[in-house]
């Protein structure tokens, strides 16, 4: 499908699962005229504990699918994919690509007053040091020296996927993880994973006097900035709000999609298409199931 006017082409949002819908929703709130194509690679979730090579390959093939939908901008909402695959993706596609790490790092540097920032994320995101490096780059622009303390919190994604957002077990696990920051004197904590905004209230209640930064809002601002700069903003009403593609379906996705982008209604599930992406190095294809 190829559209004549670039401005009315959709924006794509990619994530390994459901959490990227928080980014999609923030984009839609800010830019209601934009149509959004969402791809969640549920078949390979969680990315956070996979190898760098596997994450790059999964992201690559998912991006191929999205670029084939004639999109005008790609948002990689997955922190893990952004951490390890953003540069590679930028080097191969011609459209603008927005990742979530830089906007989150900028927001954290703006928020901290004592120059001590904490970051939580998946194993792969934390091991990549992507947030630490980006925070250091951003703070160097104003000659600030910021200490970054990072903690991998791998049990949180499965707990949220289980639907245990407001569950005492999730709170217990969070207490154990966040204990790491007790003597670090941070005043800002970055939620370096798409799923964590869904438990932001619990995190906030356990981290007194700490500003909690999630990158959904800041990423949507970056998307707007780029669309304005490239003169790609849509001035017409969106063709559709969301078109959703998944490589697998789970009830958790359906429930959370209702909550995040569906106004609590089941109709959002009618927007979901299940696809199969062929994952073999160097080649990709897909089938609607
Ligand atoms: N989307 C991933 C992220 O933001 C979390 C889920 C996963 O591990 O795939 O890092």
pLDDT in tens, 168-205: 999 999 999 999 999 999 999 999 999 999 999 999 99
210 and 222 both lie in a single domain: no
What average pLDDT does the chain have? 93
- With a 6 Å cutoff on the Cβ, whether 104 touches ligand 1 is no
| Angstrom distance (rounded) from CA 197 to CA 264 | 18
35 and 168 both lie in a single domain: no
130 and 194 both lie in a single domain: yes
222 and 83 both lie in a single domain: yes
Q: Look-up: residue for tokens 């390959």?
A: 57
179 and 124 both lie in a single domain: yes
Ligand 1 pocket test: pick from 159, 195, 199, 215 the residue with the most ligand atoms within 8 Å of its Cβ. Answer: 195
Task: Supply the pLDDT for residue 284.
Answer: 54
* Predicted confidence (pLDDT) at residue 1 exceeds the cutoff of 50: no
* Predicted confidence (pLDDT) at residue 46 exceeds the cutoff of 80: yes
**CB-based contact 248:274 (threshold 8 Å):** yes
- With a 6 Å cutoff on the Cβ, whether 46 touches ligand 1 is yes
> Which residues span the domain enclosing 128?
102-215
| Angstrom distance (rounded) from CA 1 to CA 4 | 10
7 and 69 both lie in a single domain: yes
Token couple for 30: 């800010």
Which of 215, 241, 267 is where one domain is finished? 215
Q: What's the mean pLDDT in 241-254?
A: 94
191 and 116 both lie in a single domain: yes
With a CB cutoff of 8 Å and minimum separation 6, the contacts of 250 are 42, 161
Ligand 1 pocket test: pick from 77, 78, 101, 156 the residue with the most ligand atoms within 8 Å of its Cβ. Answer: 78
Least confident of 5-14, 220-229, 235-244, 271-280: 271-280
With a CB cutoff of 8 Å and minimum separation 6, the contacts of 71 are 9, 10, 11, 12, 37, 95
- With a 6 Å cutoff on the Cβ, whether 195 touches ligand 1 is yes
207 and 116 both lie in a single domain: yes
- With a 6 Å cutoff on the Cβ, whether 118 touches ligand 1 is no
86 and 12 both lie in a single domain: yes
Our count of domains for the chain comes to 2
| Burial classification of residue 54, based on how many CB atoms lie within 10 Å of its CB (0-12 exposed, 13-18 middle, 19 or more buried) | middle
For the sheet with 36-40, list strands across it: 97-99, 73-76, 11-15, 36-40, 242-246, 272-277, 286-288
Q: What's the mean pLDDT in 33-61?
A: 95
* Predicted confidence (pLDDT) at residue 28 exceeds the cutoff of 70: yes
The closest alpha carbon to 127, from 136, 137, 119, belongs to 119
Q: Look-up: residue for tokens 């792969």?
A: 124
Q: Give the bridge partners for 273, in sequence order.
A: 245
pTM for this entry: 0.93
65 and 49 both lie in a single domain: yes
Cα torsion angle, 109, 114, 115, 119, sign: negative
Q: How do residues 134-178 score in pLDDT, each as one tens digit?
A: 999 999 999 999 999 999 999 999 999 888 999 999 999 999 999
Q: Indicate which residue of 21, 62, 78, 86 is catalytic.
A: 78
DSSP states along 180-242:
GGTTT--SEEEEESTTGGGGHHHHHHHSTT-EEEEHHHHHHHHHHHHHHHTT----S--S-SE
The answer to whether 193 is a known catalytic residue is yes
Which of 191, 215, 239 is where one domain is finished? 215
Which of 171, 200, 215 is where one domain is finished? 215
61 and 87 both lie in a single domain: yes
Residue 284: CATH number of its domain: 3.40.50.1860
201 and 246 both lie in a single domain: no
């Amino acid at each position: 499908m190829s559209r004549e006017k670039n401005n009315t082409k959709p924006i794509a949002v990619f994530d390994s699962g459901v959490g990227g819908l928080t980014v999609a929703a923030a984009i839609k709130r800010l830019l209601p005229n934009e149509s959004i194509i969402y791809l969640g690679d549920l078949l390979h979730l969680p990315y956070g504990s996979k190898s760098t090579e596997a994450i790059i390959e999964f992201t690559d093939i998912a991006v191929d699918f999205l670029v084939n939908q004639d999109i005008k901008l790609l948002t990689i909402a997955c922190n893990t994919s952004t951490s390890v695959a953003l540069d590679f993706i930028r080097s191969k596609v011609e459209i603008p690509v927005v990742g979530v790490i830089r906007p989150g790092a900028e927001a954290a540097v703006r928020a901290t007053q004592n120059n001590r920032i904490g970051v939580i994320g998946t194993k792969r995101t934390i091991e990549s040091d992507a947030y630490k490096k980006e925070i250091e780059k951003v703070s160097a622009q104003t000659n600030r020296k910021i200490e970054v303390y990072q903690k991998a919190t791998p049990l949180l994604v499965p707990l949220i996927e289980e639907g245990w957002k407001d569950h005492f077990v999730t709170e217990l696990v969070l207490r154990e993880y966040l204990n790491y920051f007790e003597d670090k004197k941070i005043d800002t904590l970055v939620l370096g994973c798409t799923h964590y905004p869904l438990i932001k209230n619990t995190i906030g209640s356990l981290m007194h006097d700490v500003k909690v930064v999630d990158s959904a809002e800041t990423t949507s601002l970056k998307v707007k900035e780029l669309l304005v700069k490239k003169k790609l903003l849509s001035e017409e009403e969106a063709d559709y709000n969301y078109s959703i593609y998944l490589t697998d379906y789970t009830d958790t996705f359906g429930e959370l999609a209702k909550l995040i982008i569906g106004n609590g209604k089941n109709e959002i599930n009618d927007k979901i298409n299940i696809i199969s992406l062929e994952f073999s190095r160097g080649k990709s294809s897909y089938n609607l199931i």
